Structure 1
Amino acid sequence: MAVKIRLTRMGKIRTPQYRIVIADSRVKRDGKVIENVGIYHPKENPSRIEVKSDRVQHWLSVGAQPSDTVKALLRKTGDWQRFKGLPEPAPLKVAEPKPEKESLYIAALKESGIDPSKAYVPEEAAKAAPKAKKSAAKADESAKTEEVEAAADEASETKGE
């Protein structure tokens, strides 16, 4: 059985995401796979490449043949050079972590001259406020119904005497 290391396509129409898989060479592109060994997201900047290096090394040593695209990805991650015994390339670029939306919002408020403590309402408090109003309204209704029931009970007792 000839085993290939290749890509299977996932994701939306114009947002391809690929899984790096081990599959029989006779199986369809998105057909049955033996093992998932990584992911590749080309649309992210920089492209996201994650590979289970130990599993790829195992499959290469067993004789699995990478497709041209996967071979290029393995060269970028250094797995191909590790398999061939060559010096490894420079490490991959990693995307910078995005700042939190809350800190961006507070910075924008300060820049516009608005006091953040007065303008800022935390999400939990904003979500809890309508619930608190509803629960208070329900409590008022239940109190009113209890008063009405108590008055009705008193009225029925006075008639019964």
Structure 2
Amino acid sequence: RPAYRVVVADSRSPRDGRFLEVLGHYSPLTEPPTVVIDRAKVEAWIKKGAQPSNTVRKLIANVPVPAPK
């Protein structure tokens, strides 16, 4: 069963190597596919200069923005 973690990693690290933080996960086999991503953490890392991959950018676009409290 494929399941994937969305993580922040240094670009010099190997693909399956060390990461800095887990931002969420993606499970493509559920119906509908499950995407859980912490938008606040994503936005914080992007402000720090992180660049999401094309795949993660597409996943983030499909996650609803939480309503302000």
Normalised by the shorter chain, which TM-score bucket? 0.7 to 0.9
State the structure with more CA Rg.
1
SS at match of 2:18: coil
- The residue that corresponds to 2:32 in the other structure is 46
User: What CA RMSD, in Å, does the superposition of the two structures yield over aligned residues?
Assistant: 1.1
Match of 2:9, SS state, is: strand
Matched, 1:35 2:21: yes
Q: SS where residue 24 of structure 1 aligns?
A: coil
More helix by share: 1
Deviations 1:37-78 (A, max 9, x none): 100001111000001111111001111000010000000014
Provide the residue aligned with 1:55 in structure 2: 41
Unaligned runs of 5+ in 1: 1-14, 80-161
| Structure 2 equivalent of residue 19 of structure 1 | 5
Q: Residue 75 in 1 paired to residue 64 in 2? A: no
- Residue type matched to 1:55 in 2? K
Alpha-carbon separation, structure 1, partners of 2:26 and 2:37: 9
1: CA distance, partners of 2:42 / 2:48: 10
Larger relative contact order (Cα-Cα within 8 Å, sequence gap ≥ 6): 2
2:28 and 2:4 mapped to 1: Cα distance? 8
Q: State the identity as a percent.
A: 40
Separation of aligned partners in 2, 1:72 and 1:78: 12
Q: Report the AA paired with residue 75 of structure 1.
A: A
Distance 2:2 2:61 in 1: 21
Alignment coverage as a number of residue pairs: 65
The residue type paired with residue 17 of structure 1 is A
- TM-score, structure 2 normalization: 0.87
